[in-house]
Structure 1
């Protein structure tokens, strides 16, 4: 396939935060071209977005249903190859389902769906069609996160024993949704966000990062959810003990009321021989800690970094790579899989190193279990 992949988009209109992020990330490697979209349910905004992006007016649609019906009728050399779904949570399932049923691959924002039942239905549909579904758990895209995963897998730290992962933000320290802020309004609305507030929005990122680096799965949680800001409808603060499938234990904290914090996702992992520490706000450095020798600091782009990390590194050492590049790495891996796709042949997303439908189902199971645990007097709650 000696051409750019053709991408459609659902959501991501002029007032969107995450839509432009996806468009920039998808374009970084020059492998993807945005050709159509249904960008908003607000009358006129989809057309205005298409105009701003210089798209063919005939391929700017008012609804995603209209888009998929029209696109699948186009000749094979014109129709989209995949769709990027960048809507609020409650509109992830419908477009993803219809895209797969229409024969198109899917990239969808995290979380994969509004609830666990929807996630499992998408999992079944992916299995049935053999099509690809990528999930944008962004932080797995950083080169040093991939380096950390490789070091753990190679046994550099021995058997993993302890994990501390936290994601403090401060932007919801006040009732921001009461001021008309669009991002705050939908993220704190259970009808749009789902059963989890902070735990669904950023807690799932923390859990996914811990599982991605360690290669382990969270099996049980002992959780507490808080709603700190008066008048808020969903949790804005969470803390929990976690157990992993190898017997390791951990602590996970995710809060959006830590005043003064930005996006301070950070993780510490300890094994028998040593451990590591990585912070998202300073993503190009990682601290290694050893039982029998001094600490080390390793840096992105250096010659000693593994090939796993080099495959997702774009710039020379000392030139920071950040959020957009991490996002782009998910698109890069997804693009390789789409190019390798052949009807009737199922590809394993793990071979391409991007989050897939199974990660989405596990993430929704995590949110549901945390909510159940928080409501229960029982100490531990097992994941479905």
Structure 2
């Protein structure tokens, strides 16, 4: 509870600082324009209420132990549209004010030069400055439009990422094996089963040999599952449908979530366990752990690997399902160089960011060094490299918003290098 209160207070102060800074700049602009003065009254009210709204909302629903889905979507949708655009606006204003401070300091240090410069300015300079000011505030509307688009359109605008993974000494029988991955469905954030049905239809059209889901099927309650059960029931693959647990399953009653998924869907969860496929003399070891991350330590990789039927000739491939990418550095990299590929999710790519060719940045990168996509790193043995793939997820938590980071369906093809 103490951490939660601290987080709420810190977030309230941060949003108040950003919003207050934007307000001060808007006030200078609106005060001299009678048609806009009414906006200052509205802005002052929101300036006081909005920083308090988020902690009050969280506290109410933590005490009541209920969170109406519509109330959550409307609240976080409005919160996102109100605050998120103000971050780039505040940054632009900070640059503008920085230039203004620099000019002021320059004029104070060289008053004669500044006076001469001012005297030679053309008479229309003030009108040009006013025009640029109006243009700047008009451009400030663009982030609001972008965020609104992220709430209404990009939220379920799925992207199919095709990843070809060259593996040195991959058993020939596994050359061309395809793995379909979904992650972070977050049933509690959905209003309709349709988005997940559409995503699964798209995945099944690729005819993957193996389908895996890497955790976070719910937000915080097993009763959220019925909205995604019809979609999960459609999943089919030659090697089956397998998954691991995420952190949100531990916010719910974990045995209830596991029991319902096993009873009502073809999904089989590997909870610190493994399953070996024997394919034309090769062995594909599918390993799944419980979640381990910043605040949870449920994974037990030694237990998951216990009794693994290893091939003495090394004619095998080890695929690990682990929800949180932090497990890569905590356990896999330092202790298990024989894990060939780890698939995870959890980060959602931050839900807000930019991915344009080599330009890649997401909010999640502030916390997770490996936040989205494929990461290949050297390993001591046996293949000389290890691979991590971080899925951007299908669902959302917090604001029902994706801006620049679209929901992901992944198709990985193993190739013998």
Which TM-score bucket, shorter chain as reference?
0.3 to 0.5
Q: TM-score, normalised by structure 2?
A: 0.30
What TM-score comes out, normalization by structure 1 length?
A: 0.32
Q: Which has the larger radius of gyration?
A: 2
The structure with the greater share of residues assigned to helix is: 2
